[in-house]
Structure 1
């Protein structure tokens, strides 16, 4: 690694001056007492000593510093410090200190980011393991019980087979959702953009979950009457998945005899915002930043009783972001929640 390095002659000049002054004084005293004292010889001696010491100190000391600074650059190059390898080697301590400080800050940020990712990876793997293990062990338990003799009882056989079927169904949901969210994250899932009426789509979803909502006496309604279609340009199937997921969540965590309300508002000239509002149990503010993480659950026991893969909201977020749109959440504990997302209006 070569390059022009910035030279500072102050140190060499001052040091040479000290050495020359000392030696010249010593030599003057010696000549005064033992030989004939002449200023010409003193001046020549002074200049010679000064130049000699200056060049020796300047180049030898700087070479000494350069070798050690180069070793620092080489060590940092092994750590892939792009900011240091781009420029020439410098022996200027102020510049070097600034570069090292910059490098240290960059590496500190990298280390902290890696720690966060590692913690997230451990949590994610633990959640995947737990989510797959629960239905798998349930299915295994029912099958082993049947093989141990319970299959001879017709009523028990049918009941256990139905429960095992539900466990397998849940495993299928988890694997399907994991596959989808992986494709969404790496960008392999292509969107089929089309123009459709969002009002009609929501009405179809209401019909789909009417019986599920009726079990908790929850009413699925629009905030107002929409006499005209609202045409949207998006992937109809994916937006249906988003709305279905949000409405199902509002039913799961909604109050008995509660309400799930849908509203569509004009945001700007070519955008609308769709709001899904309920008066359910709500979410504490501390959990909101992590709400769209994979497998994150506010109430782990309650959400597992309700079923699902634990990936729904994460998929919702990725689908909306795949459309280059935004999703928002507002919630107040024991009051209710509102999920909203933007969509592009068709011309």
Structure 2
């Protein structure tokens, strides 16, 4: 495809003017010294000199210099710079310099982005490997012990099989979470939007985890009484999963004799915001920007002992964003945390 040039005449106009002024001045001095000065002749000569100089400078210099400018554009085009091939090429050197500078900045940003993605990819595969390896080795260890003769002891056999079963359950949990988050990220998970009472759903989730909370003497409560239903439009099953993940996290990292409190407030005319607040150990500010990343753990040493796949908060974020809603987190280490998300209110 032939490249079209957007010509500029600024250089030729100025250069021709300088040449014409110099030659006219030289001619005027010459005529003044040896002949009678003829102003009409000088003006005519100046015009002819200017036109001739302009033609020579514009077309000869353009041929010499601007073809090299075209080669620079062609070289940049080979580097797949879409910004430089959308319109006609500007042969002004200042504009070219600006575009090359912009090209260099864009490429630098692209390289830095690729480096970040590559690092994220390495971390992701490392985390997947670690998360799967731990329960796999656990199951393998118990089975090998049984095969080595421990299965002849009925008590040990039952105990080890139960432990191996828990390891398999964790593997299934991790694989299911990975499958869900993959579907959420590629947009392959269809939401079934329906109208339901969010207050009733929170009560059901409280009932599900009442015994777990009682073990740490954590109180699950609302901030106030909600005598009337609060109806929202969303995927009921997915929002229940969001509440489960957030409440389980609150219990998991909550303090003994602590509190997990739910509040449901009107945000704007057609929105409500659900807040899950606790007075647990809290999260340091340095961790907040990465909190919703897959497999990211605040407490890398102890959190795995609590179970889970490390994907809970990432799934929560993707489910909320799939509803075109927002999720927020506020936390202070040693004080507690608050997770909140918006939902569309039913009319």
TM-score w.r.t. length of structure 2: 0.88
Does the CA contact (< 8 Å) of 1:24 and 1:46 recur in 2? no
Listed as ranges, the matches of 1:31-46 within 5 Å are none
Residue 5 of structure 2 is matched in structure 1 by 3
Distance 1:126 1:15, change over 3 A: farther
Distance 1:58 1:308, change over 3 A: same
Q: Give deviations 1:272-327, integer Å, cap 9, x for gaps.
A: 11111111111111111111111000001221000000000010111111111111
Cα distance in 2 between the residues matched to 1:211 and 1:253? 16
Cα distance in 2 between the residues matched to 1:258 and 1:227? 25
Distance 1:18 1:133, change over 3 A: farther
Does 1:201 pair with 2:186?
A: no
Residue 16 of structure 2 is matched in structure 1 by 13
Does the CA contact (< 8 Å) of 1:24 and 1:45 recur in 2? no
Listed as ranges, the matches of 1:70-109 within 5 Å are 70-109=70-109
Residue 165 of structure 1 is matched in structure 2 by 165
Q: Give deviations 1:205-261, integer Å, cap 9, x for gaps.
A: 111111111111111111111111111111111111000111100110011111111
Does the CA contact (< 8 Å) of 1:5 and 1:88 recur in 2? no
**Structure 1: stretches of 5+ with no match in the other structure:** 29-35
Offset of residue 11 of structure 1: 6.2
Residue 114 of structure 2 is matched in structure 1 by 114
TM-score w.r.t. length of structure 1: 0.88
Offset of residue 14 of structure 1: 6.4
Distance 1:53 1:278, change over 3 A: closer
Partner SS state of residue 62, structure 2:
helix
Cα distance in 2 between the residues matched to 1:37 and 1:199? 108
Offset of residue 89 of structure 1: 2.3
Does the CA contact (< 8 Å) of 1:12 and 1:58 recur in 2? no
Does 1:295 pair with 2:298?
A: no
Does the CA contact (< 8 Å) of 2:5 and 2:91 recur in 1? no
Listed as ranges, the matches of 1:208-287 within 5 Å are 208-287=208-287
Does the CA contact (< 8 Å) of 1:7 and 1:91 recur in 2? no
Cα distance in 2 between the residues matched to 1:312 and 1:39? 95
Does the CA contact (< 8 Å) of 1:196 and 1:236 recur in 2? yes
Aligned length: 339
Offset of residue 39 of structure 1: 9.8
Does the CA contact (< 8 Å) of 1:273 and 1:342 recur in 2? yes
**Structure 2: stretches of 5+ with no match in the other structure:** none
Q: Give deviations 1:5-41, integer Å, cap 9, x for gaps.
A: 22331465268569969x989xx8xxxxxxx99999x
**Which shifted more, 90-99 or 314-323?**
90-99
Cα distance in 2 between the residues matched to 1:330 and 1:51? 73
Q: Structure 1 segments of 4 or more deviating over 3 A?
A: 14-21, 36-40, 43-58
Partner SS state of residue 69, structure 2:
helix
Residue 67 of structure 1 is matched in structure 2 by 67
Cα distance in 2 between the residues matched to 1:344 and 1:47? 76
Offset of residue 177 of structure 1: 0.6
Cα distance in 2 between the residues matched to 1:142 and 1:203? 39
Distance 1:246 1:62, change over 3 A: same
Partner SS state of residue 301, structure 1:
coil
Distance 1:70 1:255, change over 3 A: same
